[in-house]
Amino acid sequence: MKQALSSCLAKIRELHLDAFLISDPLNIAYLTDFSQGADGYLLVSSDAQLFYFTNFLYEAVARQVKCWKVIAQKGNIFKHVAGQIEKLGAKKAAFEPKHIPFLEYKKIKESLDAAGVDFYPAIDLIEKIRAIKTKEEISYIQKSTLITKEALDFVSQADLKASTEKELSIEIERFLKLKGDNEVAFPTIVASGKNSAYPHHVAGTSPINKNIFLIDLGSKYYKYCADLTRVFFEGKISTSVRKIYDIVRKAQELSIAKIKDGAKASEVDAAARGFINKKGYGKYFGHGLGHGVGIAVHELPFINAVNEESLREGMVITVEPAIYLEGKFGIRIEDMVLVESQGCKVLSA
């Protein structure tokens, strides 16, 4: 049995649950090695019975999933889910409250109420397991990071015909998909000139200002995401841009130096934020320092000023300090870091 599934079962037993219903497509992909047609539910019983409920259209694909009993239905899937929970003789079942629409919850809950089964929310049960990566997962993330770095080389070296943000983002995504999965980790941000001051800018019809443009991109490889940001310059970099760039770069170095098993997320954030504050730019760095990366591009742990949790060996996180000067430009430098027992490894070095 997959390690992820064993950890999930251990957690179910620890919480004295009889069954756990999984509705998040990413958690389904994580537990089944199955990314396609994740339109459905997993049901895991405390005695390790495994069910995958899906639409009948996906049946042929779903049959590829080993060790899961596939229940492919036309129409009302909720009745079958609730019916199976009852058939297991479950008294206590749990669900994923962040990942089930109210209406689906209600339909299942009503059937379970009638059968006298308690139905509890269990927050982040699988997400916490996902935060610590296995060796196999780390190898996929390394490969995904490598592809993403190659795409950055492609941008800096190729004689690109792309002349707008949108055209460049399309060429980048084509590159990432040819080398990785059919889909990218997230829509590629190409933010040219003043647009670089918006952390979530959407690549638009602005012509690329080669003086300064920011690219935030990520491949997926065997479902595992990468997430990197680089700022590109052409010609002489102005003193004001250079100054901000150096502050952000130094802030990133200071944070990375703090990362190891046991370090608090808030302390890692503070190393970068404290330095940016000291330089007088604290209010231009509005978001957290970083986040976990895996099957989801944003997942546990979140590295920010308020998360007091400790990092653990095997976590993979981004470190992305930034300074956004609205109306002028923004600098964000984002790398992927593997937490190790005595320090860390920058996967995107």
Q: How far is the CB of 69 from its own copies (least distance, A)?
A: 20
3-state secondary structure of 288: coil
* Rounded Cα distance, 53 and 325, in Å: 49
Of 67 and 305, CB closest to its own copies = 305
Nearer to its own copies, 198 or 233 (CB): 198
CB nearer its own copies, residue 59 or residue 253: 59
CB of 1 to its own copies, least distance (A): 26
Cβ proximity to its own copies: between 104 and 253 the closer is: 104
- DSSP helix/strand/coil, 283: helix
CA separation for the pair 186, 233 (Å, rounded): 23
What's phi and psi for 257, nearest 5 deg? Answer: -65, -20
Tell me how far, at minimum, the Cβ of 336 lies from its own copies, in Å: 20
Report, in Å, the least distance between residue 246 CB and its own copies. 25
3-state SS, residue 7? helix
Which residue ranges make up the site for its own copies (CB under 8 A)? Answer: 36-37, 56-58, 60-61, 95, 97-103, 105-106, 121, 123, 166-167, 169-171, 173-174, 177-178, 182-183, 187, 198-203, 286-287, 326
Nearer CB in complex with its own copies: 60/114:
60
Nearer to its own copies, 5 or 180 (CB): 180
- The distance of closest approach from Cβ of residue 43 to its own copies in the complex, given in angstroms and rounded to an integer, is 17
Rg over CA atoms, the chain: 23
Q: Is the dihedral of CA 290, 257, 260, 145 positive or negative?
A: positive
Residue with tokens 């995504």: 173
Q: Buried (b) or exposed (e) across 208-224, using 16+ Cβ within 10 A?
A: bbebbbbbbbbbbbbbb
Least distance from C-beta 202 to its own copies, angstroms?
Answer: 5
Q: Please say which residue, 53 or 105, places its beta carbon nearer to its own copies.
A: 105
Dist. CA 25–CA 27, nearest whole Å: 5
Q: How far is the CB of 41 from its own copies (least distance, A)?
A: 14
Quick one: 179 or 264, whose CB is closer to its own copies? 179
Please report how close the Cβ of residue 260 comes to its own copies at its closest, in angstroms. 28
Q: Say how far apart CA 40 and CA 29 lie, in whole Å.
A: 11
What are all long-range contacts of 299-302, with beta carbons under 8 Å and residues at least 24 apart? Answer: 299/127, 299/130, 299/131, 300/124, 300/127, 300/128, 300/130, 300/131, 301/131, 301/265, 302/265
Helices 135-157 and 165-179, packing angle to 10 deg: 140
Two tokens at 296? 């989801």
